[in-house]
Structure 1
């Protein structure tokens, strides 16, 4: 009897480990569900919206301007941020914060992206902490899942800050 209980317990543990490994790989390499908080992406994503962030684009270096990404915060590695990609490496970004009288221009260095929230008046983003290393990007947000009446793909930037650079238009 003890022998049967032992084998059933080991079998259960084995299946649990297998399914745990499958779940880990799915969340690490395919995507994850994220509950967003804070006002920085309003009106596109509001507090408590649930989105799906896919991870394949990050691994294949297919992040583009206009994409909304989930990234590790440059200030706190235990916190994730949700922002829109405004510039890629080599892009010239016109920056200013509400307290700046003059606009300045910044070039996004190699291996970095420029991230901003859609709610420019209430967002801590690259305007505060500078370009973000590509390695901090965890995934690209591709779907809004909750609330149900807003289910679907995400809209373009309400700030209209994303423009093609001359190098982008030359390649078309």
Structure 2
């Protein structure tokens, strides 16, 4: 009888430790996120399931072209690509991205651009000054400028301005569902 009681206590302890570790991993290190909508096509599709690393930006800062999840409102998170980091001037001219006056390649847009009809553009011309209410000339400290990969169907920094870094949940690191789309985030 004592053996059964000890065995049950060991199982209960093991279960409690596993539950506490799972909660810690979920709250502190990683979070599952489901993509809602077409704004990141073709990189991420509607209903893709991702793992978001919360610790990446505890130890470092977002880098240009990271895919991040951030709090857009109290009830809604967005997933977008970081285009500008503090100190960057961001502009698009003739469907080409310019950061600090230099043209920057965006290979993740190649497939999307190929789907467009002739003479159709993916990204309308803009400058950072034009799309921020504050008229920022560069991305301010503690903020990032984000765009969706599906530029003609994305609510992003062109509409709501720069994103405070303290609103960033984490970096998308891995797509795990559906099975045919399993891959590291790029």
Answer yes or no: same fold by TM over 0.5. yes
- Shorter-chain TM-score: what band? 0.7 to 0.9
Q: Mean Cα displacement is larger for which, 83-92 or 105-114?
A: 105-114
Equivalence map 1:1-172=2 (5 Å): 19-73=18-72, 76-94=73-91, 103-106=126-129, 107-155=138-186
Q: Give structure 2 stretches of 5+ with no counterpart.
A: 1-7, 94-120, 130-137
Q: Structure 1 residues 25, 143: CA separation in 2 closer, same or farther (over 3 Å shift)? A: same
The alignment yields a C-alpha RMSD, in angstroms, of 2.6
Give TM-score, length-normalised by structure 2: 0.67
Q: Give structure 1 stretches of 5+ with no counterpart.
A: 1-7, 156-172
**Deviation at 1:58?**
1.3
Aligned residues of 2:89 and 2:128 also touching (Cα < 8 A)? yes
Aligned residues of 1:68 and 1:82 also touching (Cα < 8 A)? yes
Give TM-score, length-normalised by structure 1: 0.72
Aligned residues of 2:92 and 2:125 also touching (Cα < 8 A)? no
Deviations 1:86-138 (A, max 9, x none): 01111111168x9x986323411010001110001110011101000000100
Deviations 1:48-75 (A, max 9, x none): 11111111111012321111011100xx
Give the paired residue count: 142
Distance 1:149 1:101 in 2: 33
Distance 1:101 1:15 in 2: 56
| Secondary structure, aligned partner of 1:62 | coil
| Secondary structure, aligned partner of 1:86 | strand
Distance 1:37 1:26 in 2: 24
Q: Structure 1 residues 92, 34: CA separation in 2 closer, same or farther (over 3 Å shift)? A: same
